[in-house]
Amino acid sequence: MKKQMAKWTSGIFNPFLVSAVVVTLISFDSTNHVSEAMKWALILIAISILPVLCVVIYLAHKEKVEGIFINIRRQRNKIYFLASICVVAGCLLLLYLGAPLVLVATFVAGLAAIVVFMCVNFLWKISLHTAFAAASVTVLTILYGSNGALTAMLVPPIAWARIELEQHSLAQAVAGALLAVLIVVVVFHFFGLIGSTTPL
């Protein structure tokens, strides 16, 4: 029963779905027009999330990687590299189209996280599930204050699930979360989105 719950938790709160949901929420927060928000959300999901997901599904189908979540460390770096290219493309497109600052900051934070995680991955594996969850909580807290901070209650179950499934140790789950929070805070502070008109 515990294993089944862990599988469901890990599957539902996977990095791809979490990223898509957060990008959509940020898109709607950045504009008062529904059509404009949908435009940003669809563009960003199409250019940064779907390509990586499609490649991972293809590689998993061809048994080139262990599975969609790629739990074997040595199989992750090529996906990190692909993700970094997609996020760079997303950042350039956002700048070209004059996107809201918060969307640009989110993608810069994403790029910084991918680069840091890729470097760490040469020596050690950290949990991307907890990293994406913690980063999302941080962004939502910056944007929505205490209401956004309520999503923090999702991080411990996600960490538990990855540990229960023996995909990560406690240290790897905690390290992923802490690194992600640090990167988001630093990048958002650099963009002036913390400590100004944006609620904490």
Per-residue model confidence (pLDDT) at position 200: 36
Digit-by-digit pLDDT tens for the chain (200 residues) are 788 999 999 989 998 999 999 999 999 988 888 989 999 999 989 988 899 899 888 888 887 777 777 777 777 888 888 899 999 998 999 999 888 999 999 999 999 999 999 999 888 989 999 999 999 999 999 988 888 899 999 999 999 999 999 889 999 999 999 999 999 999 999 999 886 544 33
pLDDT tens per residue, range 15-44: 899 999 999 999 998 888 898 999 999 998
What phi, psi does 185 have (nearest 5°)?
-60, -45
DSSP 7-31: HHHHHHT-HHHHHHHHHHHHHHHT-
d(CA 28, CA 43): 13
Q: What are phi and psi of 70, to 5 degrees?
A: 45, 75
Tokens 């898509």 map to which residue?
20
Site of tokens 């913690």: 134
pTM of the model: 0.87
Whole-number pLDDT of residue 185:
95
pLDDT of 69 reads: 72
pLDDT of residue 177: 95
What pLDDT sits at residue 60?
Answer: 84
pLDDT of residue 159: 95
pLDDT at residue 8, rounded to an integer: 92
pLDDT for residue 65: 74
For 97, residues 6+ apart whose C-beta sits below 8 A from its C-beta are 43
Residue 113 CB coordination number (10 Å):
24
Q: How far apart are CA 53 and CA 49, in angstroms?
A: 6
DSSP alpha helix (H) spans, 62-151: 77-97, 101-121, 128-144, 146-149
Structure tokens at 110: 């994403």
Query: For position 197, what pLDDT does the model report?
Result: 45
Query: Burial of 105 by CB count in 10 Å (0-12 exposed, 13-18 middle, 19+ buried)?
Result: buried
Residue 195: what pLDDT?
A: 65
Backbone CA torsion sign across 105, 14, 121, 135: positive
